[in-house]
Structures are given as C-alpha cells and as structure tokens.
A and B are shown apart, each in its own frame.
Chain A
Amino acid sequence: MKKKTVVKVVAVLLTLCMAVVLGACGSSNKTQDEGTAQQTTQGAETSKPAEKVKINFPTYQVGNDGAAKWFAGFVERFNKKYEGKYEIVVEEVPGAQAFVEKLKMLNASNELPAVFDLGLDGTLASMIIKDNKIIDLKPYIDADSQWKSVLMDESVNYNTVDGKLVGAPAYLDTFSGIFYNKSLFEKAGVTEFPKTWDDFFATCDTLKKAGVTPIALQTNEDGWTSMLPMTAKLASTEEGVKFLYERFPKDFNKPYMVDAAAFLQKLFQYTTVDAIGANYAISANNFISEKAAMIANGPWMINTFNDTKTAPEGFAKKVGYSLWPGEIAHATVTRYGYAVSERFPKEVQEGAIEILKFMASPEEIRTDCVMNGRVAPKVPLTDEDKAKMDPLQVEVYGKVQNVKVPSPNYYYRWDTSVVNQALPKELPLLASGKITPEEFCKRLTETAQKFTESETK
C-alpha cells in the first residue's frame, strides 16, 4: 500500500475515532439516564405484566440524615411487600442542599425522577408545578379512603394548586422547637425553660453570668439555627404568623419583621464567638460539645444526640426539649409533599403512587413517628409504640401536643434567593451590628424582588 494511501486511511480512522469519542461524550449522560429510564420502565416496555417495575427514588434521607434509618427500613419493607411487582431503587444524594441542586439539574434537562420530594425548594417547586411536569394525585387519593382519612386538611389545601393535588399531602408533622442542656441550666441555677420572651432573655443573662454561652447560632448556609428563633419571635404576633403563611413574600419591610430581626440581633449577643460565619454543623457541634446551652431544631436531631460518633456518651440524657414562649413551634405541614413525575409510563406512575400510599399506611406512619419524633394527628400512637421511643422523643411527642401556634417554616415559604443567597450574606452584618434590622429587612426585600423583576423582563 502506498504511503499516501496509508496516511489517508489513518486520517479517516482518526477522524472516525474522534467523532465516536465526541459523540460518546455528548451522549454519555443520555445513555446513563436512558439506562435508568429503561430500568424504571422495565415493566412498561415488556408485554409481560408480571415483570417487576423498578422505581428510581432519589433521597437525601441517607448517611448522617436523622431519618436515614427509618427510610432504609421503609424501602426494605416496601420492596418485601411488593416483591415481584415493584422495587424501589434508592439513589442516595446526601444533604438536602445537594438534593435540591440535583433536582434543579434534572428539571432543566427534563429528567425528573419518578417520585421525589417536591417541597424542599419552594421556588423550584413552583416552576415544576407551573410547567405541568407532575401528575395530579387527587384521583388516586379520592379513590383510596384509607389514604384520604389520614391526611391533614391544612396540607391538602397547601398542596392543591388550581384544583390539582401537586404533592402528596402530609399525614404527619414535625415540630421544631428548642433543645436545651439541662446540666448547663442547672449549673446556672435555671430550673425551668422560660415561658415568656422576656424570661427567655433573662435566662440568657443568667446563663451568661454563670459562664455558660446561652445559645448556638449560625449565619452561613440558610441560617437555620438562627432563623428558627427569629421566625418563632415573628410568629408571636398575629400579623407575623400571617406573614409566615405568605408564599414567597416580596416585601419584608414590615414592623413585625423588623422587630423579629432586632430580636435576632440581640440574640447574637448570647452566642458563641464563631457563630458569625458558622454553618449548621458548627452550630450543632457547639451544642453537642456543650459549648452552648440551647439550640433551635427539630426532633430529627435526637438521633445525633444518641449517636456516640457525634455526641459524648450519655449526652441525650442531659437534653430537654421545649416549645418557644407562647407555645410556638415550627411546623412542616404547609409545604409541598412528594410528587410523581408525569414523564413516565402509567406502570411507573402507579408504582410511584403505591410507594406514597404505602408510606401513608397507619403502620408506616406509626413507625415514622416512633423513629423520627413526628406527630400524626389522625394516627395516634399506642402505648406499645411509645415504649419503643427514645425518652427525649417521648418528651418531644408530649410537648408538641400542646402547640398553640404551629408556625410555617421560612425555609419552605421564602424564595430560594432569600434563603440561600440573602441570608448567608446579610445575617453576618445584622449579627455584628453593621446593619440595622430595618436595613436587613430592606435587603431581603431587594433580593426577593429581584427575582420577580427578572421573571417579568
């Protein structure tokens, strides 16, 4: 073969290789996703009805998440019950924020999973709903009297958009209150948790005088352990509660919001030296390592108190739980629930609905309550259930029955730009007194309105 011909052949082969490589690069995601889709639609693609339908279920309830143990058990029980018919294939996405990021990407590429938690990011949820990417669950719930009977009316209302049920309504609630270290309280001579906001600060002063840092706070990420006290204060007024019920508020320049911001600014005088700039992990660690006497959080944190990898032996016994003054607690009921993607064949959608139905069965609800400290108003726990609970969970369970003001949670109600962008930037300034509470509210307003402006551009 002539040299020239060899060169030509090599050139053609190399170009072909290049095209294949580039083609493979370009379609690598597609291939992977199609693989998942094939897997998930297995039942639909074959004519044999007996063949198992696999349902991809991405979740953040894995690893160190407080509900990881319950979720793993739930999957095992579902797969056992529906053996040969449906199978949940768990896709582990550790961390709620990472889960939201993943969902955003999947939404952008029109590859939403068969079943997913819609409510973690309110802004993303509203986009998915607006684009009709999820199915209406109302016919399925209406057809199942047992499922319907356990649902909470408030959640049904919240999840109903234009007459459609976009997310599976909640049948249980998780109340965030405040955990406190009884030993540190005793050390400072405080015998009971304060009942009024004035007493709350008096207790903080007493703790401080005794050399105990009163509360663990944070400014980074979504400001969780700081925003819970602030919004609890906000919920202590009628207008404040109304404001918290607003979906994606655009105007934070309200007197009650300013008061709540001023409350938080004052609270930062009673926190650890590293609170400004701290993320949740640092804040939680400050409480667990007994550097701070209180932390605002929900009952899922109890599992970390009992875990010797994260807390000292016997730490859980030192911890008490209280509602905020005025019997206020943050509820999770008014958020979007699990949604079922419309892009899958009927078989997969039905499998996804079976998962939600199974989750709402009384046995599963009780297991969830026992393991995660949640409360299901329409499925009371038996004494046998309570006997299985951790003592602190029993305390939480008992106290949350007295909640007078179940306040909606800012995390699910406010724009993502406010929660994830404005709060970590503005909280350090508020906490250090560089901006006034009025300025803080003004800046949150500007961020919230920026999104609206751009939408209308």
Chain B
Amino acid sequence: MKKTKLQYVLLFICPAVLIYVFVFLLPTIILSVTSLTKWNGANMPVFVGLGNYSGLLQDGTFRRALINTISMGLLAAFVNVPMGVALALILNRKPGGWKLIRSVSLLPDIIASSVKAVIFIFIFNPGMGLLNGIIRALGFSDFNVNWFFDERTAFLAINLTWIFQLGFVVLVCLGELLSMPASFREAAKIDGATDLQIDFLINIPLIRNIIGTCVIVMVTSIFKMFEQIYLTTVGGPGEATTTLALLIYQNITNNFQYGYANAIGMVLLFLGILVILVVQKAFRMNKSSYE
C-alpha cells in the first residue's frame, strides 16, 4: 500500500477506533476490573478477587435469570429469526401488497419499547384486556388469566411482547434476496424446481451469512432487553421473568452492589461473545455464500 493511501486509511478509521476505544473498550475494561471488587458506587472499590463470581454460583436468582436469558436467546434464534426469514421468502415472491406488508412488519421496530410495554399491559390486563376479552367473546365467559402475573404464563407473555418483532430480519433478508441475480431462480425453474425447493435449496443457502447476522443481532439484543420487562412484570412473579439485564439494574439501584452487578455484566458479555462465535461457526460466516 502506498504511503499516501495508508494515511487516508488511518485518517478514516481513526474516528471509529477512537470512539470504539473510549465508548466500548475502556468501559469493558473498567467493567471487568470492577467485577473483581466490592463497590457500592460511591466509595473506592475493594478488591475481592473472584468473590463476586463465586457468589453468582450460589445465587438462585442469578441462576434463574441466566436460564431465562438463554431461553429468550434460543427463542430469538429458533422462532423469531426463522419467522422473519420465512416472511422475507414469501415477500420475495412479490405477492399483492408485499411492499405494504414489508412496511407494516417494521412498525414494532419503530415503536418505543416503553410504549410497547404499555400497549401489552392493556392487551394482557385480566379485566379489560384485549386478549382475555377475545377469549371470553369466543364463548369462554369465565376465562380469566392474568398473563403477566401468573407464574405459568408470565414468561410466555413477556416473550409475546417481542417475538413477532420481525421488521429487522425481514428487511435485511428481503434486501439480500432481491439483490440476488434472477438467473438463479430462472435456471432452477427451468430444471423443474418448485418454489419451496428454490427457497430451501437456493435462496436460504445463499443468504446464509445474512441469516447468521440476524441471529447474532436478535439474540444479543434480546439478551439486553430491559424496558419491556421492567415496565411490566419487574422480573416477577417470583423470578419468572427475571433476566440478567434486569438483575444488573436491580443490583445497582436497589442493593448498591456495583461490583456484583458488573460480574453479572461480564457473564452477559461472555454469553454474547459465545453466541457470536457459535453462530459464525454454524453459519460458516467467514466463507462467501457462493463458495
């Protein structure tokens, strides 16, 4: 590379690198260091080694939050993303009104999480809620489930607040599908392939990298989900909807356990890294889709 070109490269990556260092890398280092301390946020942290981590192992609330967080991640990977991909594949066939459906599918993504939480509070309200109202109208007049606050349904209800949020996956996958050369589809058609065969044997393998990206983005964003839980169930009833993100907040604001909360933050960080590595491997994301 010529020296001038190298200077340009450095010049343009400089802002991104600086932002990354100051906004992400340094806080991550601080997070990892303070996770080894007892710290109430106001005084000087006191080094406790792996004390916070051994505390996590004995903490039943943490274990439940970890299970809930992983379960939600799995729902994102195996339910949310596949639904989004399926919708993208259907829209790729350009049925009537496909542009409208594409736009409508984006709506949940542009509504603020706090607003969504309020909407779902009203949908799941046991008295005047829409869902119970519909079920009662269908003839089950005694039906009365408190969706958010019944231990049996709370986790389901929380997941229903985001599981149909398909806009991002649809947009990205459809964009990739529409940019694929039409000759692939035409050649397959000539060879007698059905639409379903084209989707499963040509389209999906060719958008493999994009699907992998969607899985990483959706799973990690679900790991971080906070508002919809905090504004509805606050992690309850019991620990039914407690997640790691919520537990971090509660340990900071209610217990002033910054060190302990940062240890949970580190677990969440490693969980995110693990997801990225596994998905990259599973989707062979370091190879071109055409290889």
Could you list which residues of chain A lie within 8 angstroms of chain B, going by C-beta atoms?
3-4, 7-8, 10-11, 14-15, 18, 22, 26, 101, 104, 107-108, 110, 123-124, 127, 131, 219-220, 272-274, 276-277, 415-417, 420-421, 424-426, 428-429, 432, 434-435, 450-451, 454-455, 457
Given A10-B11, A104-B253, A451-B255, CB of A277 within 8 Å of CB of B42: no
Contact with A along B221-234 (1 / 0, CB 8 A): 00000000000011
Q: For the complex, what is the distance from the CA of A14 to the CA of B234, rounded to whole Å?
A: 45
A454 touches B55 (CB 8 A): yes
A18 — which chain B residues lie within 8 A by C-beta?
A: 14-15, 18
A-B pairs with lowest CB-CB distance, top 5: A425-B236, A428-B237, A277-B149, A273-B127, A108-B41
Q: How many B residues touch the partner, as a band?
A: 35 or more
The chain B residue with its CB closest to the CB of A419 is B254
Given A7-B4, A11-B11, A429-B151, CB of A131 within 8 Å of CB of B43: yes
Would you list which residues of chain B between 145 and 162 have a CB under 8 Å from chain A?
A: 146, 148-151
B251 CB to nearest chain A CB (Å): 8
Q: Among the listed A4, A26, A425, which residue makes an inter-chain contact with B239, where contact means beta carbons less than 8 Å apart?
A: A425
Q: For the complex, what is the distance from the CA of A114 to the CA of B139, rounded to whole Å?
A: 62
Could you list which residues of chain B lie within 8 angstroms of chain A, going by C-beta atoms?
4, 7-8, 10-11, 14-15, 18-19, 22, 38, 40-43, 48, 51-52, 55, 59, 125-128, 144, 146, 148-151, 233-239, 242, 250, 253-257, 260
A11 — which chain B residues lie within 8 A by C-beta?
A: 7, 10-11, 14
B51 — which chain A residues lie within 8 A by C-beta?
A: 457
Q: Among the listed A22, A104, A434, which residue makes an inter-chain contact with B237, where contact means beta carbons less than 8 Å apart?
A: A434
Q: For the complex, what is the distance from the CA of A119 to the CA of B11, rounded to whole Å?
A: 53
B42 CB to nearest chain A CB (Å): 5
Given A274-B128, A457-B52, CB of A123 within 8 Å of CB of B7: no
The chain A residue with its CB closest to the CB of B250 is A421
Given A104-B253, A273-B126, A273-B144, CB of A454 within 8 Å of CB of B38: yes
Q: For the complex, what is the distance from the CA of A22 to the CA of B21, rounded to whole Å?
A: 11
B254 touches A421 (CB 8 A): yes
B15 touches A429 (CB 8 A): no
B242 — which chain A residues lie within 8 A by C-beta?
A: 425
Given A108-B41, A127-B42, CB of A420 within 8 Å of CB of B254: yes
A264 CB to nearest chain B CB (Å): 15
B148 — which chain A residues lie within 8 A by C-beta?
A: 277
B43 — which chain A residues lie within 8 A by C-beta?
A: 131
Given A11-B7, A276-B146, A451-B255, CB of A434 within 8 Å of CB of B151: yes
Q: For the complex, what is the distance from the CA of A10 to the CA of B235, rounded to whole Å?
A: 51
A425 touches B237 (CB 8 A): yes
Q: For the complex, what is the distance from the CA of A14 to the CA of B17, rounded to whole Å?
A: 13
A276 touches B149 (CB 8 A): yes
